[in-house]
Chain A
Amino acid sequence: AAGVIQSPRHLIKEKRETATLKCYPIPRHDTVYWYQQGPGQDPQFLISFYEKMQSDKGSIPDRFSAQQFSDYHSELNMSSLELGDSALYFCASSLVSGTSSTGELFFGEGSRLTVL
């Protein structure tokens, strides 16, 4: 069965550069979530999209932006990169149904960003 696909898996950038991470959700899933996990840290919620509209926003810096496209894939754009942006970025997808506001989540393998 198809899983959540993230690309690239690894990315190395210099300070002040720009990076774009992509997430392809499980087919027919309508919701995408982005999380950031710094070294030794808990994952932190960044942003979510439901049916191509932003549905919730967490601790996402103003230098970051994201969108969900008509094919439901999502991209996280990060500009003016800082050393502290080095982290594992997870995407998850779900089909929101029932009483849960998130549905059962399926995670991608993550994109590891290193800023030098």
Chain B
Amino acid sequence: KNEVEQSPQNLTAQEGEFITINCSYSVGISALHWLQQHPGGGIVSLFMLSSGKKKHGRLIATINIQEKHSSLHITASHPRDSAVYICAVSPRGAQKLVFGQGTRLTINP
């Protein structure tokens, strides 16, 4: 079983829909990261969370440390949001990321 599990693996939605991507992990962490990878391969860090909730524009990320679970929400989704969204955790005391398998999101106009 992977240390970081994401769901769903693939998600297709219509423009304007509210999107939720889930991430569960099994190790103690110092932080959880949500990353975005576009088809060209470049990775952009969206959020780093250690507790609570963060919001940036139409993106919202939450984390529940007790339940070892995080969610990434996209409001008013747009075709330019189409990308692979990756959840990754920083295990406590380790200087590395452990990646989930990613969620491929496609937003149709």
- Chain A residues within an 8 Å CB radius of B42: 107, 109-110
Interface residue count on the A side (C-beta < 8 Å): 29
Chain A, 72-112, contact with B by CB distance < 8 Å: what is the 0/1 string? Answer: 00000000000000001010100010011111111101101
B56 within 8 A of A: no
A27 within 8 A of B: no
A101 and B44: CB pair below 8 A? no
Which chain A residue shows the least CB distance to B84?
Answer: A42
* CB under 8 Å from chain A, chain B span 58-94: 86, 88, 90-94
Interface residues of B (CB under 8 A from A): 30-31, 33, 35, 40-45, 48, 50, 86, 88, 90-102
Interface residues of A (CB under 8 A from B): 31, 33, 35, 37, 42-45, 48, 50, 55-56, 58, 88, 90, 92, 96, 99-107, 109-110, 112
